[in-house]
Structure 1
Amino acid sequence: MKIAVFSAKPYDEEYMTKTNEVLGQGKHEIKYIKSPLDEAHVPLAQGCDAVCVFVNDPVTEVVVDALASYGIKLILCRCAGYNNVNLAACKKHGITVARVPKYSPYATAEHSVALMMTLNRKTHRAYNRVREGDFSINGLMGFDMNGKKVGVIGTGKIGYLVCKILKCGFGCDVVAYDVYQSAEVKSIGVEYVDLDTLFRTCDIISLHCPLFNNTKYIINDEALEKMKKGVMIINASRGALVDTKAVIKHLKNGKVGSLGVDVYENEANTFYENHSSDLYLSDELLLRLMSFKNVLVTSHQAFFTQEAMQNIADSVFHSATQYQTEGKVTGEEFVPCE
């Protein structure tokens, strides 16, 4: 099978080439393409049997129509989410979509807690001070995590691990919200509450839910109005869970005490690329967000560990090989196009 890997970075090439040689026994031919899979670059997929896309590749109806015209019947997402893929168009053309359900929940959970601790103890600011010879600690005061009330929205594999780290490791009072309540989460003493209660009572709120129509802007102006003054908000899930304009408003009035985001609603135009030589960033909303000293932005790197990269490559080639031999993808990797 010939696979066009879009948005390919050096680390993608390293892990996918190595894994193809081991798992695929070199049977898959890989075409690495630095550009994203979008309407402008979809012709680069011609001559391939499948495409492999990343989280910010806009696989629109137009893109899917083009892929179908090239005879491509398989889209391999090297991420857990698939909200960037037009599933209705895939269903229309009989295109199978596969994802990576278990790349490493530990990676994202640990990064989420790292964002919390960095914002709390201001280690990023302390690092910069010391590098400049400033050893003062005024303005760097944090708080004990022990006893703080943390609300976790979304209790899948990642959310559960965040709950476990915070409750069992730090001694936080952890509550959660999810449409589906997890027995595993309850077993470690985490109580499920409604969203309104979570918003009103928590010192820290961490997001770990997928992006659907009903979760878009789950953190909006109305929700922020309900929160405690000085609340910390963490988002390492999907950027559009947070209304950036609304959170900027509440950063300015002090309602939001700190914000840590590994994702951003308009990140596709900026993240994963080096803009250090640009005269300016064109995204004025992102620039405004980054101007706050109590905001920490990382470039969608929560997943980025050695273990996760290996698991992603393993899953992609497992799905590719299964489709090649059986004509279908099964298990958690399969995305129903409904």
Structure 2
Amino acid sequence: MGFKIAFFDSKPYDMESFDRFNQEYGFELRYFKEKLSDDTVFMAKGYDAVCLFVNDEVTSYVVDQLIAMGVKIIAMRCAGYNNVDLKAAYSRIHVVRVPAYSPYAVAEHALALMMTLNRKIHKAYTRVLDKNFTIQGLMGFDMHGKTVGVIGTGQIGQIMIQILKGLGMRVLAYDAFPRPEMAQNLGFVYVDLDTLYRESDIITLHCPLLPSTEYMINHEAISKMKDGVMIINTSRGKLIDTKALIEGLKSRKVGYAGLDVYEEEGDYFFEDYSTEVLDDDVLARLLTFNNVIVTSHQAFFTREAIDNIARTTLQNIQDFIDDKPLTNEICYRCGQDPSSCQKVKTGKCF
């Protein structure tokens, strides 16, 4: 019998890419449409591994049940891991992820949100469809010469900075672990968050969701920003307190918001609710603003990214089977991004 993998929250594009790359590995794959949760974990019985996406919930109960059923490894087919109870998993079951599937895809989507909001492309498109060719109300601003604040200078943040520098923008950045040499090479300046908030015309988020970053964009942070600031989030929904953002939009302190993620997205994103009433009052309110664009967690969604996700995920599992170092393992002991965990870097978390 081959190594059996249960995929949760599966979509047709997952099946196509994983089936194609699995020809090199020969695993037994089973796809479930359901998300993994306390209520669906029983479906993992009889499998050696589970493969999960961003909105699957790995609670302590789920961890206990997976281990009891003989599941040996949790393979996240994404970079995010905030829905995994790493404390419950630590030293009991391995958890691996795909740290970088296409940083270009995410950075380019963030740029698309910026430009669409600025030049009001979404409004112009619908206006022209109605044979209305006026340009009143569509005025934007030159991005050249403006100041942009980039929060997080990992792979995606670095590519974002290069793109923005190419537009002639002044780039400020914040990172808990700054790299001065990189700043010098790319031509940006590290500053503290208060300075970034105060001086930036546009703020774009490219950091992980950690206890230290949860709701970092809140009432207090927004109050420090420029009037009419543009906020872009293609990272994690809970980086932003959505109610505070709505208050900022209502007061016009926030002039634009481009969101590819939402703090309560798990119940909606990746699904079709076009024939139903939206019962999330906060999300419904957010969608009423004409200076807000929400996309449904699609920043990663390019052919190159999907292929890299499948390839890396299957290789993570093969490395586990072959008892090789798990370089993409997530470590609870870090208390921060796994890239800083020396145990992971040197081979194994436990």
Q: In which range does the TM-score fall when normalised by the shorter chain?
A: over 0.9
Please state if 1:213 is matched with 2:231.
no
Root mean square deviation of aligned Cα: 0.9
Distance 1:334 1:91 in 2: 11
Distance 2:53 2:109 in 1: 20
C-alpha distance after superposition, 1:213-263 (max 9, x if no partner): 010011000000011100000000000000000010010000000000000
Please state if 1:174 is matched with 2:202.
no
Identity rate, percent: 54
2:331 to 312, 322, 336: 336
State whether residues 38 and 59 of structure 1, in contact with CA within 8 Å, keep that contact through their aligned partners in structure 2. Answer: yes
Which amino acid in 1 is paired with 2:287?
Answer: M
Gaps of 5+ in 1: none
Aligned to 1:73: 72
State whether residues 98 and 329 of structure 1, in contact with CA within 8 Å, keep that contact through their aligned partners in structure 2. Answer: no
C-alpha distance after superposition, 1:254-309 (max 9, x if no partner): 0000000000000001100000111x111110000010000000000000000000
Please state if 1:270 is matched with 2:268.
yes
Q: How far off is 1:77 after superposition?
A: 0.3
Q: How far off is 1:181 after superposition?
A: 1.2
Distance 1:69 1:185 in 2: 48
Which amino acid in 2 is paired with 1:140?
Answer: L
Distance 1:227 1:308 in 2: 34
Aligned to 2:296: 299
Aligned to 1:318: 315
Structure ranking higher on relative contact order (CA contacts 8 Å, 6+ apart): 1
Aligned to 1:86: 85
Gaps of 5+ in 2: 334-350
Which amino acid in 1 is paired with 2:130?
Answer: E
Distance 1:329 1:86, change over 3 A: farther
Q: How far off is 1:329 after superposition?
A: 4.7
State whether residues 208 and 235 of structure 1, in contact with CA within 8 Å, keep that contact through their aligned partners in structure 2. Answer: yes
Aligned to 1:2: 4
Aligned to 1:29: 28
Q: How far off is 1:186 after superposition?
A: 3.0
Q: How far off is 1:187 after superposition?
A: 1.0
State whether residues 231 and 254 of structure 2, in contact with CA within 8 Å, keep that contact through their aligned partners in structure 1. Answer: yes
Distance 2:224 2:174 in 1: 16
Please state if 1:193 is matched with 2:163.
no
Aligned to 1:112: 110
Aligned to 2:346: none
State whether residues 160 and 185 of structure 1, in contact with CA within 8 Å, keep that contact through their aligned partners in structure 2. Answer: no
Distance 2:292 2:147 in 1: 20
State whether residues 122 and 140 of structure 1, in contact with CA within 8 Å, keep that contact through their aligned partners in structure 2. Answer: yes
State whether residues 224 and 250 of structure 1, in contact with CA within 8 Å, keep that contact through their aligned partners in structure 2. Answer: yes
Which amino acid in 2 is paired with 1:330?
Answer: L
Q: How far off is 1:102 after superposition?
A: 1.7
Distance 1:270 1:329 in 2: 36
State whether residues 183 and 190 of structure 2, in contact with CA within 8 Å, keep that contact through their aligned partners in structure 1. Answer: no
Q: How far off is 1:90 after superposition?
A: 0.9
Distance 2:107 2:184 in 1: 18
1:159 to 154, 157, 160: 157
Distance 2:31 2:288 in 1: 36
Aligned to 2:234: 236
Distance 1:314 1:337 in 2: 25
Q: How far off is 1:89 after superposition?
A: 1.0
State whether residues 155 and 185 of structure 1, in contact with CA within 8 Å, keep that contact through their aligned partners in structure 2. Answer: no
Q: How far off is 1:184 after superposition?
A: 2.2
Residue 334 of structure 1 aligns to a residue in which SS?
coil
Distance 1:43 1:70 in 2: 9
Residue 150 of structure 1 aligns to a residue in which SS?
strand
Distance 2:182 2:167 in 1: 19
Please state if 1:256 is matched with 2:217.
no
Distance 2:291 2:325 in 1: 44
Runs of 4+ in 1 over 6 A off after TM superposition: none
Distance 1:212 1:185 in 2: 24
Which amino acid in 2 is paired with 1:80?
Answer: A
Which amino acid in 1 is paired with 2:11?
Answer: K
Aligned to 1:308: 305
Q: How far off is 1:146 after superposition?
A: 0.1
